Structure 1
Amino acid sequence: MTKNPAINALAAIVYIIIVASVMYYGLKLAGPQNTVAVPIAIISLFTLSAAVMGFVFLFQPAQLYLDGEKKIAADLFIRTLAIFGVITALILLALFSGGLLSKT
C-alpha cells in the first residue's frame, strides 16, 4: 500500500466498512436465502478479504524487506497493526458504550 501506517490502517477500516455495509444492507434488500450460493459467496468473500488485507498490511513491508530494509519493514508493519488495533478498539468501545447500537 503506502509507507504511511495510518493510511494503510484506514484503508483496511474503509474496506471493512464497505464489506460490512454491503452484507448488512444486502440482507435487508434480498432477504434470507436458502441456497448453496450463500456459503459459496461467504467463502469467496472471506478469500477476497484475506487477499485485500494481506495487500494492505504486508505488500509495502515485504517490498522494503526484500530491498534489504528489514528494520523499516518491521517498523511499518508493527505501526500499521498498532494503528489498526487502536481504531478497532475505538470501534468496540463505541459499540459497547451504546454509540453504535442504533437500529436502522
Structure 2
Amino acid sequence: MNNILKNPYINALLAALYIIVIVFVIGNLEDITRGKESLLVPVIMLSLFVLSAAIMGLFFVYTPAKMFLDNQKPEALTFFLKTIGTFAGFAIVALLMILLL
C-alpha cells in the first residue's frame, strides 16, 4: 500500500475512483431508503463523510506531509501539486462529459 501512495497520479486516480464508488453507494442508498423515515440514514451519511475525509486526506496529504517532515520540502510541494493537478484534470474531464453528452 505504501508504494501505491508514492505516485501522485495513482493517488489522484484512486481519489476519483473512490468518489465514483461513493456516488453509486449514495444513489443506491437513496433508492433503498426512499419513503422510510429513519435516524440511521443521517448517521450513515455523516459516517460516510468522515470516512471520505480520512481517505481523501490519505490520498492527497499523507505522502506530501511525510516528505515535508523528512525535510524534502520542494519534492513535497511538487508531489502535492501533481496530485491536485491530476485530480483537477479528472474533474474537468467529468464536467466536459456531462456538458457534451
1:6 is the counterpart of 2:9:
yes
Query: By how many angstroms is 1:95 displaced?
Result: 1.0
- Distance of 1:83 and 1:90 partners within structure 2: 11
Question: Percent identity of the aligned residues?
Answer: 36
Q: How many residues end up aligned between the 2 structures?
A: 97
Residue from 22, 26, 31 that aligns with 1:23: 26
Aligned residue number for residue 61 of structure 1:
64
Name structure 2 gaps, 5 residues minimum. none
The structural deviation recorded for 1:35 is 1.2
Return the alpha-carbon distance in structure 2 between the equivalents of residues 37 and 67 of structure 1: 43
* 1:1-104 map, 5 Å: 2-28=5-31, 30-32=32-34, 33-98=36-101
| Corresponding residue of 1:102 | none
What amino acid sits opposite 1:19 in the alignment?
I
TM-score, normalised on structure 2?
A: 0.89
Report the structure, 1 or 2, having the larger helix content: 2
Measure the CA separation in 1 of the matches of 2:28 and 2:94.
Answer: 19
State how far apart, in whole Å, the 1-side matches of 2:56 and 2:77 are. 17
Structure 1 residue runs without a partner (length 5+): 99-104
Q: Provide the alpha-carbon RMSD of the alignment.
A: 1.2
Return the offset for 1:24.
1.2
Q: Which runs of 4+ in 1 moved over 4 A?
A: none
